[in-house]
Structure 1
Amino acid sequence: MGSQSFFSARPLSSSPLSNTNAKVEEKWLGYFPLKRKPLYPRLSNGGRVRASLNADSKAIEIPRRWYNLIADLPVKPPPPLNPKTLEPVKPEDLSPLFPDELIKQETTNDRFIDIPDEVIDVYKLWRPTPLIRAKRLEKLLDTPARIYYKYEGVSPAGSHKPNTAVPQVWYNAKEGVKNVVTETGAGQWGCSLAFACSLFGLGCEVWQVRASFDQKPYRRLMMETWGAKVHPSPSSITEAGRKILQKDPTSPGSLGIAISEAVEVAAMSPETKYCLGSVLNHVLLHQTVIGEECLKQMEAIGETPDLIIGCTGGGSNFAGLSFPFIREKLSGKINPVIRAVEPSACPSLTKGVYAYDYGDTAGMTPLMKMHTLGHDFIPDPIHAGGLRYHGMAPLISHVYELGLMEAISIPQTECFHGAIQFARTEGLIPAPEPTHAIAATIREALKCKETGEAKVILTAMCGHGHFDLTSYEKYLQGNMVDLSFSEEKIQASLANIPQVVA
C-alpha cells in the first residue's frame, strides 16, 4: 500500500495547506479573461457542412446515445478500490473531483446513455466524421486488402478528444462548477478541454507533460487561445510537482505526474473539478460515438471489418472505435480481430502486469485493476506524448483479459516510416499517436500481399499532426531513434505497486 491519501486536500504531507491553497487559487483563477455565464449554445444545423463518407452511402446521423460495453460483458470488470479501506469506491468518494452525473456514468451498468441535446448541438460542428478508404495507400503497398480509416482530426481541436471534453464540461457547468483542471500529454486533450470550456464559460487550467510542453509549443498556444492556463509538468506550483523536481530537476514528466498535480489542485476548491481525457469508464463511454457512426458507415457501403486496429495509451480512442464492434462480436453478428497497438517504450498491455495500481504517480487516485508498468514508471520521451502512460484503461484491460482483443507494440521509427507513407499517399499528416495504428495496418496489409487475402482493415486515425512537425523533421533528418525501456526500470517500478489481493 502507498502512504498517500485519497482525494485529500493535504495529499502529500500532514502540514496545513490552506494558505498555499489560497495563493495557488488566486494565481490561476485570476488568469481567465472570460467572466461570463455558461452559454449552453444551440447551434444551427445549416451553419456547417457535415463530414461524410467518401463513398456512395445514405446519410449517417450523429448517434443519440453513448454505448456502455459493461452491460454486455459476460464478466463484469473489477471495481476501483479506496486505497485506505480496500473497499469498492463509493460515489461520495469521487465527489471531490467529478460532478454527480459523471460519477453515475462511471459506475452505471446501463447499456445506453442518452446524449444531451446541448452536447449534440456542439458535436454538429464536426460530427459525423468521415470514414475514408485509403485507396492510394493500398496501391502503394500493392495489397489486396481494403483499408479504411475513421478520421477524427476534423474536430476543432484536431483529434477525437472533444467527444468527451464537451460533455464533461457541460455536466460540470450544469452543476455550477466554475473551473476545471486536467493533465495533457501531447496536448490534444488539453486543447479539447480548453475548447469546451470556451464554449460553456468555465475556467481551465492544464498541466502539460514537460517533454511535450517543450516539443509542441503550438499546442500550448492553442490552449491559451481558448483561454486556458498551461503549466509544464512537473511544476513548482504543486507539492507533487515539487517532490518530483527535487528528485530530478530535469524530469521529462509523465501523464501520471501531471495527473497528480491536477488532482491536487482540484482537491483545494469546491468550485473546481478535475477532468480526465482517457482511462475512466465515462470517458470511454463518450468516445463510442466513433464506433457507432462507423458501424453505420460500413454497413452503408456493404463492408464488414476483418481486423480493427487502434493505438492505445490510456485507451479512449481505441475504445471509442472498437467497443460498439465488440458488442456486435459478442452477439455473433461479426467476428473481427481487434488489435491494440502501443509504443515499445511504454508497453503496458504487452509488458505490464494486471494488478491494482494508482492512476497517478503520487498515489492520490483510487486503486484500479489495470495493466500497468507501475505508477512510478516514467516512460522515455517518445514523440507520441499521448501514449506515455504507465497504465491502460481498466475496462480495456478487462476486455483484454477476457480474450476479446489482442495487443502488440511497435517502435517509433517504424511508426513514422508508416506515417510518411500515409501522408504521401492519403495526404493527411497523422499525429504521432495514430502512427502506431498506421504502422500495424501496413504490416497487416503487406501480409495480405503475401497471402493474397483481401481482408477489410479498419483503423482509427484519431488526430492530425499539424502541431507535431518537429517530430517529422527529426525523423526526416535521420535523427530519430527508437527509445525503449530497461527491464530493471520496470521491475523497480512494479515493486512499488500496492499489494492487493483481489
Structure 2
Amino acid sequence: MAIDPIKLRAPQVEEIVPKHWYNIVPDLPEPVPPPRKPDGSIVKPEELEAVFPKELVRQETSMERYIAIPEPVRQAYLEIGRPTPLLRARRLEERLGTPAKIYYKYEGVIPTGSHKANTAIAQAYMASQEGIERLTTETGAGQWGSALALAGALFGIKVRVYMVRVSYEQKPYRRVLMQIYGAEVVPSPSKLTSVGRKILEEDPDNPGSLGIAISEAIEDALTNPNTKYSLGSVLNAVLLHQTVIGQEAMKQLELLGEEPPTHLVGAVGGGSNFGGFTYPFIKEKLRGKLDAEVIAVEPKAAPSMTKGVYAYDYGDTAGLTPLIKMHTLGHRFIPPPIHAGGLRYHGVAPTLSILLNHGVVKPVAYKQTEVFEAARFFAQAEGIVPAPESAHAVKAVIDLAREAKKKNEKRIIVFNLSGHGLLDLKGYEDYLAGRLEDTEPESFDLSYLPKVEG
C-alpha cells in the first residue's frame, strides 16, 4: 500500500500552512482607487471576466479580510513543500560581526525555485474548476512562467508563456524548465500577435519588457477560444495568494519564541513576494501591535517606487489592461537589460502604492553590481545562491546589519529570500567576469501617461 509522505510529517508542521489567504484591502489607510477606462468610468467586475477566471475577479474585488484556501490548493501547497523553512542566518551574522539577528523565509525550496507557485496553483485550480482549457501569461526572469507551467501540468491546463526576449536569451534553462512541464514558451515581442508584430516592425532588436509581454498574452487570451490570462504580480488577488508566506513566517517566529521583528525586507518588481511576505505583518503594524520598519527594495534600473509618479496608468505597453492607480514609470518604459528580470516592470501593486504614500513602507533602490556583490557574500556565508531579484533584499539586509553594528543596536531582521539563483548563473558569470553594467535611466518620459477623465 502506498504511503502518503505528507502524513509522515509531524501534524504541527502541516498546521503551519494557513487555511485562509489574508486580504489587506479592508485594513489599508484608504480605499484602493478602482480600475478605470480612459473616459474615467469605472471598470465593472464582470468586464474583467473576459480576461480572468470569475473566481479570481471575485477575489480581486473582495472586501473580506480572510478568504478560505480551497482544500485542493492547500493540498498542492503541502505537496510542493509548504511550509517553507524560516532559517537563522547565523554565519552571515558572524561574518558581519553584527548584534542583529537575521532570519530569512526561503521560498527557493519549492520545485520551481521561487514563491510564484503560491498563486500559480491557485489560478490554475480556478481555471480548471471553470472549464478553462488554456492560460496565457508573461514572464520576466522565468520564475512566474515556470510556476504557471507546473500548475498547468498539475491541473490539466495548457499554458503559453510570453517570455521577455532579453531574459529568454539570458536564461535558457528557465525556458527549458517550462517546456519540461509542458508549456509553450515564446520570446516577446513575437510575431504571434499584432502587438508583437507592430513593435518588431518599428524595432527588430527590441529587448522586450514585461509590459510588452503582458500585452501579447492578453491579446492571445482575447482572441482564442476557452483561453484566459494569468498574471503573476500587481493584482491584489495575486498578492493575496502569496500571504501564505508571511502567515507561515509569523507562526514560525512564534514557535521559535522569538521577539517581534524590528525590520522586514523584501524585493519588489510588481509586489507579489514583498506583499505576500510583509502584508500579514503590516496588518499588525497598522493596528499598532508591531513596531517594525518595512523596507521594499528595487533596482535603480527600474525605480518605480523611488522615482515613479503616482498616477493612473496601463499595466501593459499596448494599453489593453484597465487603467490602475499605482507608482509608475510609464507603460512604455523599456528598462535596461539587468539580470533581475522579475524586477523589470514599470509599476507596482496599487495596494503597495497606498502603503508607500502613507509611509508604512520605505522604498530603497540599488545598483546591479552592488546587489550581486551582496549575493555572493551571502552565498559564501549561507550556502544559498539567491536569485538576482531576491539578492536586492539581501543587499538591504546586509546594510541594515552593518548599521546595527555601527550603532551597537540589537535588531531582529526578517526577509523573504523569494527564490534561488541556480538558473540565473549567467548573471553571476557576468558579475565574476566584470561584465555587469550599472545602467540607470537618467529621466523618464511620462508625457504619454493617460489623461483620465473624472
TM-score, length-scaled by structure 1? 0.88
Distance 1:416 1:210 in 2: 22
Residue identity over aligned pairs, in percent, reads 54
Contact 1:45 1:124 in 2 (8 A): no
Aligned to 2:291: 335
Aligned to 1:111: 65
Aligned to 1:472: 428
Alignment of 1:434-453 (within 5 A): 434-453=390-409
Aligned amino acid, residue 265 of structure 2? I
* Per-residue deviation, 1:142: 0.8
Alignment of 1:71-86 (within 5 A): 71-83=26-38, 85-86=39-40
* Per-residue deviation, 1:82: 2.3
Aligned to 1:498: 450
Task: Evaluate the alpha carbon distance shift between residue 353 and residue 51 of structure 1 in structure 2; reply closer, same or farther with a 3 A threshold.
Answer: farther
Aligned to 1:251: 206
Contact 1:431 1:464 in 2 (8 A): yes
Contact 1:51 1:130 in 2 (8 A): no
Task: Evaluate the alpha carbon distance shift between residue 50 and residue 452 of structure 1 in structure 2; reply closer, same or farther with a 3 A threshold.
Answer: farther
Aligned to 2:360: 404
Aligned to 2:128: 173
Q: 75, 84, 89: which is aligned to 1:121?
A: 75
**For structure 2, which runs of at least 5 residues remain unmatched after alignment?**
none
Aligned amino acid, residue 237 of structure 2? H
Aligned to 1:46: 5
Does 1:312 pair with 2:264? no
Distance 1:141 1:398 in 2: 34
1:85-129 C-alpha deviation (Å, 9 max, x unpaired): 422211121011111111000001100000000001100021001
Does 1:363 pair with 2:322? no
Contact 1:96 1:270 in 2 (8 A): no
Distance 1:48 1:206 in 2: 35
SS in 2 for 1:309: strand
SS in 2 for 1:433: helix
Aligned to 1:141: 96
Q: 93, 110, 113: which is aligned to 2:47?
A: 93
* Per-residue deviation, 1:270: 3.7
Contact 1:60 1:297 in 2 (8 A): no
Aligned amino acid, residue 377 of structure 2? Q
Aligned amino acid, residue 500 of structure 1? V
Does 1:267 pair with 2:226? no
Alignment of 1:412-427 (within 5 A): 412-427=368-383
Distance 2:47 2:10 in 1: 41
* Per-residue deviation, 1:246: 1.4
Aligned to 2:333: 377
Moved over 6 A (4+): 48-52
SS in 2 for 1:355: strand
Aligned amino acid, residue 75 of structure 2? D
Q: 154, 157, 178: which is aligned to 1:202?
A: 157
Task: Evaluate the alpha carbon distance shift between residue 420 and residue 65 of structure 1 in structure 2; reply closer, same or farther with a 3 A threshold.
Answer: same
* Per-residue deviation, 1:244: 1.1
Aligned amino acid, residue 179 of structure 1? R
* Per-residue deviation, 1:479: 1.4
Contact 1:51 1:127 in 2 (8 A): no
**For structure 1, which runs of at least 5 residues remain unmatched after alignment?**
1-42
Contact 1:190 1:223 in 2 (8 A): yes
Contact 1:345 1:485 in 2 (8 A): yes
Aligned amino acid, residue 241 of structure 1? G
Q: How many residue pairs align between the two structures? A: 451
1:222-259 C-alpha deviation (Å, 9 max, x unpaired): 00000000000000111111111112111110000000
Contact 2:135 2:160 in 1 (8 A): yes
Aligned to 1:18: none
SS in 2 for 1:303: coil
Aligned to 2:302: 346
Aligned amino acid, residue 287 of structure 2? S
Q: 116, 121, 140: which is aligned to 1:185?
A: 140
1:350-409 C-alpha deviation (Å, 9 max, x unpaired): 000000000000010000000000001000000000000001111111111122111010
Distance 2:160 2:128 in 1: 15
CA RMSD of aligned residues (A): 1.6
